[in-house]
Homo-oligomer: A and B are copies of this chain.
Amino acid sequence: MDSYAVKIREAINRNETVVIGCECEVEYSGRAEAFLAKGERLIIIKADNALLVHQPEGNNPINYMKPDTKHSIKVNEGFMILKSQNLTLKEYLDIKMSKVHFVQSHQLKDGQKIQVVGTEKDMSEMIYNNPSIVSDDFKPISMEEQTKYGFIDVFGHDAEGNLVIVECKRYCADLSAVTQLRRYVEKMKKVKGTENVLGVIASPKITSNAQQMAEDWGFNFVSVEPPKYKERYNKDQKTLDKF
């Protein structure tokens, strides 16, 4: 235990990324309060002093501390105790390790940012450049526009002189998507002093209740998929066997 503690302390001081496999219990106090009883987990302390506790299953950390947290480690009565404090955010995490399976650390450097295609913004651009997706006579004026009445994905007008507000969702439009659109439409009507404002939901799917609410409010739903540029994968490829 003592040698592990030394190793971890030195690794943190050198700003390495540290991984600990251990049995532990965890207590958190901050924005909420949480307790996690004894079990085997992975603890990660990153170069920016963020901390993650991962259970052996599931995508998300079960406990965590944000970057710029201070970590202190010591051994007491056979337990290794990691105390993490973020005084700025008033968050505190205590980990009591009863067994340590391994400690690994390494200096990691990485300044890369991820590039993602198929976001809602990509959908907006696609519609802006191909307005017939929405309707034959839709003429887009602006895109991703931050206005006083909200953040409108695609804004324009049609041949009859109606203003048109398009709200994109990359997956399934729900009630809150429709109320969001409703809020923009109402505000636009008020600001422009006209009733001629149309609302359009553009998404691959829409929930049944959202569909109903859209109809009640006279909004159109247009089924649109978010764009994918790569599609590298052969659709015939069904297994890893051939790899």
Contacts and interface: CB of A to CB of B under 8 A. Distances in A.
Interface of A: 17, 19, 21, 27, 29, 31-42, 44, 46-48, 50, 52, 54-59, 61-64, 66-67, 70, 72, 74, 83, 85, 87, 92, 101-102, 104, 106, 108-112, 114-119, 150, 170-171, 175-176, 179-180, 182-183, 226, 228-233, 238-240, 243
Nearest to A84: B240
Given A29-B231, A46-B57, A228-B33, A21 B104 contact: yes
Contact of A229 (B33, B104, B238): B33
Contact of A230 (B33, B64, B114, B231): B33
A42 B39 contact: no
A104 B243 contact: no
Nearest to A213: B183
A101 B18 CA distance: 13
B179 A83 contact: no
Contacts of A46: 54, 56-58
A56 B62 contact: no
Contact of A109 (B39, B102, B109): B39
